[in-house]
């Protein structure tokens, strides 16, 4: 039987809890997750079977079926993300997989197209995902918007002790002070995911039971920073290090340094898009950087109307000619203006104003402030006049995204 005949008999429909066994089987086949590996981190048989059940409870899951057999799938979590202080409904894409015998049939293209339509209908004007293939998702309209930095600090390079008025306490990972501090930090940092129970479950999903949370409390016993870490094989492994002020930073590094006799090095991750070497007295540490999460604007008009522009110049007009072959409602011209009260207005189809031509990928990484307009023009990712670039530079806030989650 040829591929066209197989393609014609397939049906696209929503995946339900009745399909849980098949859903898990396809995920584990595609991502090569074995029972041995899952049991190594302490999961029992029931936990393995139910590992992705929350997706089918909470997410919008689409699949291609060959009769009763699941052949290809995509899941979208209902999430929220901070974009320069504005909270957006976001579609978190995960569970993307196809059995090899069903590849090269256009199944994933159709699933993504349908998923985008349904995200738009639910008001999720932006989508984020962790890419297994950056080129693949770029073709679908996503673009890189955050980095993950890895660093190694030898025990001899640990910062010197700095006297601080507060102290560090180890707490449970559901401690209200920890959850509250994370929420405070989330609301002040661009790009961060607002964690509900589902997002927290995903954050902890692949960690062992030995993971520890330590909070720095100031003199008034207000939590001002935290470190999430694991001690293993003489290494202090930092999953995440967050601080609201420099006092908390010093306090947390004092705490890490107190493990001097127990460790040979500290290994950790940094999501600030700023190297941490400059903050250390001995800056000759190992640091590496790699792309982390990607994002896509699902609905350009709704995204721009809610966007917290750094300036709102009354009387100025900006014409965005957007290319988006995957989402025809975005493959359009958008004219942005601002009224005397600073409200954003967006007119479809208008070609008035300073002209900017760009893809939906470039639009996303630019408005998420991962890359600046002047740089994107320099590498020929957008076409615009000097005047248009100056306007874009004034409109888009400077802060780069911080994204430390995984799903």
The 3 state secondary structure assigned to the chain is CCHHHHHHHCEEEECCHHHHHHHHHHHHHHHCCCHHHHHHCCCCHHHHHCCCHHHHHHCEEEEEEECCEEEEEEEEEEEEEEECCEEEEEEEEEEEEECHHHCCCCHHHHHHHHHHHHHHHCCCCEEEECCCCHHHHHHCCCEECCEEEEEEEEHHHCCCCCCCCCEEEEECCCCHHHHHHHHHHHHHCCCCEECCHHHHHHHHCCCCCCCEEEEEECCCCCEEEEEEEEEECCEEEEEEEEECCHHHHHHHHHHHHCCHHHCCEEEEEECCCCCCHHHCCCCCCEEEEEECCEEEECCHHHHHHHCCCCCCCCCCEEEEEEECCCCCCCCCEEEEEECCCCCEEEEECCCCCEEEEEEHHHHHHHHCCCCCHHHHHHCCCEEECHHHHHHHHHHCCCCCCCCCCCC
Across the range 50-79, mean pLDDT stands at: 88
Confidence label for 274 from pLDDT (cuts 50, 70 and 90): confident
| Per-residue model confidence (pLDDT) at position 168 | 98
Where is average pLDDT lowest: 7-11, 38-42, 165-169, 385-389? 38-42
Q: Specify the pLDDT at position 46.
A: 52
- Tell me, what's the pLDDT at 104? 92
Tens digit of each residue's pLDDT (9 = 90 or more) over 286-306: 999 999 999 999 999 999 999
**Mean per-residue pLDDT over the chain, rounded:** 93
The answer, yes or no, to whether residue 207 has pLDDT greater than 90, is no
* pLDDT, tens digit, 9 for 90 and up, residues 134-160: 999 999 999 999 999 999 999 999 999
Give residue 200's pLDDT.
Answer: 94
- The pLDDT score that the predictor gives to residue 43 is 46
pLDDT tens-place string over residues 2-36: 778 888 899 999 999 999 999 989 988 888 765 55
Query: Residue 41 pLDDT > 50, yes or no?
Result: no
Q: Which of left, alpha, beta for 257 (phi over 0: left; psi -120 to 50: alpha)?
A: alpha
107 pLDDT higher than 90? yes
What's the CA gap between 283 and 272, in Å, rounded? 17
Most distant CA pair in the chain: distance in Å? Answer: 74
pLDDT(48) > 80: no
The answer to whether residue 395 scores a pLDDT higher than 90 is yes
Domains in the chain, please, with CATH? 3-124 (3.40.630.30), 149-291 (3.40.630.30), 294-395 (3.30.1050.10)
Average of per-residue pLDDT across 78-94:
98
pLDDT at 51 > cutoff 60: no
Task: Quickly tell me which residue has 């909070």 as its tokens.
Answer: 215
């Amino acid at each position: 039987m040829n591929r066209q005949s197989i393609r014609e008999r397939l049906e696209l429909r929503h995946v339900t809890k009745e399909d849980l066994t098949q859903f898990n089987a396809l995920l584990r086949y595609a991502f090569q997750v074995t029972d041995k590996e899952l049991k190594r981190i302490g999961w029992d048989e029931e936990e393995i079977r139910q590992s992705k059940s929350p997706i089918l409870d909470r997410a919008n899951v689409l699949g291609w079926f060959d009769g009763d057999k699941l052949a290809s799938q995509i899941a979208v979590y209902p999430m929220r993300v901070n974009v320069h202080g504005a909270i957006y409904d976001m579609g978190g894409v995960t569970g993307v997989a196809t059995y090899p015998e069903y590849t090269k049939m256009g199944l994933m293209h159709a699933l993504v197209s349908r998923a985008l339509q349904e995200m738009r209908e639910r008001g999720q004007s932006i989508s984020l995902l962790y890419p297994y293939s950056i080129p693949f998702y770029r073709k679908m309209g996503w673009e890189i918007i955050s980095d993950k930095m890895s660093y190694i600090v030898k025990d001899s390079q640990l910062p010197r002790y700095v006297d601080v008025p507060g102290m560090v306490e180890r707490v449970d990972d559901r401690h209200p002070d920890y959850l509250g501090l994370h929420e405070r930090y989330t609301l002040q940092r661009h790009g961060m995911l607002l964690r509900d129970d589902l997002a927290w479950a995903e954050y902890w999903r692949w960690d062992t039971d030995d993971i520890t949370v330590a909070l720095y409390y100031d003199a008034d016993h207000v939590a001002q920073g935290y470190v999430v870490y694991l001690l293993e094989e003489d290494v202090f492994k930092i999953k995440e290090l967050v601080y609201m002020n420099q006092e908390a930073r010093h306090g947390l590094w004092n705490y890490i340094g107190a493990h001097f006799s127990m460790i040979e090095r500290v290994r950790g991750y940094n999501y600030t898009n700023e190297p941490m070497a400059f903050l250390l007295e001995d800056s000759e540490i190992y640091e590496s950087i790699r792309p982390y999460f990607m994002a896509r604007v699902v609905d350009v008009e709704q995204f721009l109307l809610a966007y917290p522009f750094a300036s709102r110049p009354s009387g100025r007009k900006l014409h965005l000619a957007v290319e988006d072959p995957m989402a025809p409602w975005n493959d359009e011209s958008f004219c942005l203006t601002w009224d005397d009260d600073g409200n954003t207005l967006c007119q479809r189809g208008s070609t008035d104003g300073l002209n900017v031509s760009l893809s939906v990928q470039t639009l996303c990484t630019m408005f998420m402030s991962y890359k600046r307009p002047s740089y994107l023009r320099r590498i020929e990712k957008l076409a615009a006049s000097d005047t248009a670039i100056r306007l874009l530079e004034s409109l888009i806030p400077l802060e780069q995204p911080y994204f430390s989650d995984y799903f």
